Amino acid sequence: GMCDAVVRLRFDYTIERHSPQLAALLIHAPSASGLEGVPFQDLLHEDDRTIFCERLADSTKASTASESSGTATHANVSCSMPGNMRDSLGNRVRVQLFHTSVQDVN
């Protein structure tokens, strides 16, 4: 499989740290902070924002439920969906989004 960019999101779906690969994929000019702090859903095409937030909310609920019951498995905390992002010019960029929840050990 191929992964063009990995992005770590905060609990509110904002980008936690700069992802040069995502910035390049979406033709954003290089900068020190890049896309850090940007709501990830703002980078999605309008048609995909609602379904993205719903899928992440479902994944988060499954992760929370499995952690509390002690039955966490990779299958119930991950999701994948086709989607469209917007580059800096507003053009559609077809993508396959993969999401998994990870526990921050810091």
pLDDT averaged over the chain? 83
Please tell me what DSSP assigns to residue 30. Answer: P
Number of other residues whose CB lies within 10 A of the CB of residue 106: 2
Query: What proportions of the chain, in percent to the nearest 5, are helix, strand and coil?
Result: 35, 20, 40
Query: Hey, what amino acid is at 14?
Result: T
- Number of CB atoms found within 10 A of residue 23's CB: 19
Would you give the DSSP letter of residue 32? Answer: S
**Predicted pLDDT of residue 30:** 82
Q: CA 41 to CA 86: how far, in whole Å?
A: 10
pLDDT tens for 41-84 read: 999 999 999 998 888 887 767 666 655 666 554 445 688 899 99
pTM given for the model = 0.77
Q: How confident is the model at residue 21 (pLDDT cuts 50, 70, 90)?
A: very high
